[in-house]
Amino acid sequence: MTMPWTVRGVGIITATALMVSLAVSRAPSLAAAAPTLRESGDLTQLVLAYERSLPWRNSDGYKWDESSSPRQARTIADAAVTARHGDLAAARRALAPYGYDLVEFTHTGIGGGRHLVLRERPQANGKRARNWGLYVLNQKPRARDLAFEAPHPQFDTHTPEMNIDGYLRGGAALFAMAGTHRYANGKPGDNPYELSLDSDMAREPDSLFQQMHESLTRKSTDVVQLHGFARQGGNSENSQCEDVVLANGAARPSSGEPDRPRPGLRQVADQLRLRLLSTTVWPDSTSCPLGATSNPQGKFTRGIGGRFFHVESERAVRDSPEVRAKVVDAVLCALLGIKGRSGGPLTRRRESVGRRCTAPSGRCSGAEREAGEDSASRADAAHGP
């Protein structure tokens, strides 16, 4: 397989991989041989290649054992925290028995930067043992207190690249992507599959994905999940939804639960509308069901008083590279005051990250002009299936 990035240290991987695989079942001390892995390339391409390799729907590829997996997930998440604090050798040793590599990755694409990639290693048969996901930590000392999460690769088309785009352009601290299709172990209600929620990281509360979320974010962290839905061909109720639906996962006020503020969501909505995307903040539109009220990452973040941004984009929005970039632009502009690249692809590195969004009231300077220029293509993109 040709990889769009370069690898150093591979020479010792093959020999060491055998030792590590032995370490899983026999002698944890052999994990001390965990190699240092350094790679460089385009982080977006790494994420997309990983997405293509994930177990598909009904593959039964997600492996979770109630008796041992919760403890293993906690150990892996603890190792991620250790890595974030800079002790990479200790993190590598802790991760190795569970098949996770810690890769020191130099991103050569727009924005550059050094990142730590926690990546599950394929076994001798080419398959990963657990498929618990891919995690990227920003090594920049002043990475923003911001996380982008992609719980639904493969199913929510183009959301891995949207989330890694947000991570890179926002200079975020964390990117997380699930390790399988959400229905790898079956969809709830689809016989004969009984595992239902196991493989759906935005439903199942007990997973490495959740452990990473809880260990690597805090009250001050803005957590963004860019999801996707379709007005046609899926849940018929979705046909009532706007182009973009924002939620923080809190229940409807009418549910009997106390009404909770939805901090920041309306600022994001304003930015999306400036880009001519029809937008609603759930549950303002009572007929649209996309409230994310059972999302465990949202529950955790709301529970500690943090801000959770669940962003559902319609299929036509995601199918256009220019329009899906506007969604990321709107989020970054509202949360960070960073001007995005809606005007077109960037060709110069200095333009990529950190251009300020200077207009008052959360408006990006130039946003209206960009929206006006792109209105024709936007209209085309919004109304196809």
**Residue located via tokens 């657990």:** 130
Three-state secondary structure readout of the chain: CCCCEEEECHHHHHHHHHHHHHHHHCCHHHHHHCCCEEEEECHHHHHHHHHHCCCCCCCCCCCCCCCCHHHHHHHHHHHHHHHHCCCHHHHHHHHHHHCEEEEEEEECCCCCCEEEEEEECCCCCCCCCCCCCEEEEECCCCCEEEEEEECCCCCCCCHHHHHHHHHHHHCEEEEEECCCCCCCCCCCCCCCCCCHHHHCCCCCCCCHHHHHHHHHCCCCCEEEEEEEECCCCCCHHHHHCCCEEEECCCCCHHHCCCCCCCCCHHHHHHHHHHCCCCEEECCCCCCCCCCCCCCHHHHHHHHCCCEEEEEEEEHHHHHCHHHHHHHHHHHHHHHHCECCCCCCCCCCHHHCCCCECCCCCCCCCCHHHHHHHCHHHHHHHHCCC
Q: How far is the CB of 151 from Zn ion (least distance, A)?
A: 6
Q: How far is the CB of 40 from Zn ion (least distance, A)?
A: 31
- Residues found in the chain: 385
Q: How far is the CB of 25 from Zn ion (least distance, A)?
A: 35
| Residue closest to Zn ion when measured from CB atoms | 227
* Choice between 152 and 341, CB closer to Zn ion: 152
Q: How far is the CB of 305 from Zn ion (least distance, A)?
A: 24
Q: How far is the CB of 206 from Zn ion (least distance, A)?
A: 19
* CA atoms within 13 Å, Cβ hemisphere of 143: 27
Q: How far is the CB of 310 from Zn ion (least distance, A)?
A: 9
* Choice between 143 and 177, CB closer to Zn ion: 177
Query: Which positions from 97 through 156 interact with Zn ion, judged by CB under 5 A?
Result: 152, 156
* Choice between 279 and 313, CB closer to Zn ion: 313
* Choice between 152 and 324, CB closer to Zn ion: 152
Query: Which positions from 77 through 96 interact with Zn ion, judged by CB under 5 A?
Result: none
Q: How far is the CB of 217 from Zn ion (least distance, A)?
A: 18
* Choice between 292 and 335, CB closer to Zn ion: 292
Q: How far is the CB of 231 from Zn ion (least distance, A)?
A: 15
Q: How far is the CB of 152 from Zn ion (least distance, A)?
A: 4
* Choice between 93 and 315, CB closer to Zn ion: 315
Q: Strand pairing partners for 227?
A: 312
Q: How far is the CB of 175 from Zn ion (least distance, A)?
A: 16
Cα(224)–Cα(119) distance, rounded to whole angstroms? 21
Q: Strand pairing partners for 261?
A: none
Asked if 51 touches Zn ion (CB under 5 A), the answer is no
Query: Which positions from 180 through 239 interact with Zn ion, judged by CB under 5 A?
Result: 227
Report the b/e string of 63-78 with b at 16+ CB within 10 A. bbeeeebeebbebbbe
* Choice between 158 and 262, CB closer to Zn ion: 158
* Choice between 17 and 245, CB closer to Zn ion: 245
* Choice between 44 and 295, CB closer to Zn ion: 295
* Choice between 197 and 276, CB closer to Zn ion: 197
The number of residues that bind Zn ion (CB under 5 A) is 3
For binding to Zn ion (CB under 5 A), which residues are involved? 152, 156, 227
